[in-house]
Structure 1
């Protein structure tokens, strides 16, 4: 599994946290998804998970995975602008 750098870091405030985290690699994003609350998993989560795993396995594009993760974070209200 490759650890691909994001073109720009994505800043998030994880659920239930006051801490801001900079997500700089797809592996970071994958770790965030592991801890994503079960009750908040839906189509955006599933799309991000599939895109990130595909990119990490060399079967998908990193840019698409980053976009899917950013969309999930924005939809969930954890994206810090």
Structure 2
């Protein structure tokens, strides 16, 4: 597995009426963040961008980048309703159930 790939893809709904997109890696998350409007950037955006960039230069892990990107998506209202939250390996289904409870 690529060191920059997310364990579980981050599912987002970029705009109402558009289909759900899946972000599979740090690189895809960075591409998405770089296209985010400047007027809508803030502290959570900065944390996500820094974590994703840090993962590309081995300062942060892909898991840290995924969590930061998911937090950004949640705060921005982009997170799809059916997103799975990463847990410990093999516990993704349980993590999903717990997060939705």
TM superposition score normalised by structure 2:
0.72
Distance 1:17 1:55, change over 3 A: farther
Number of residue pairs aligned between Structure 1 and Structure 2? 80
Distance 2:43 2:58 in 1: 22
Unaligned ranges ≥5, structure 2: 82-101
**Rg larger in 1 or in 2?**
2
Counterpart contact for 2:51–2:60, Cα < 8 Å: yes
Distance 2:29 2:3 in 1: 10
Aligned to 1:40: 40
Counterpart contact for 1:3–1:27, Cα < 8 Å: no
Q: Equivalent residues in 2 for 1:60-75 (5 A)? A: 60-75=60-75
Aligned-pair CA distance for 1:19:
2.8
**C-alpha RMSD of matched pairs (Å):** 1.8
Distance 2:24 2:17 in 1: 19
Aligned-pair CA distance for 1:38:
1.4
| Structure with bigger RCO (C-alpha 8 Å, 6+ apart) | 1
Distance 1:27 1:71, change over 3 A: same
TM superposition score normalised by structure 1:
0.89
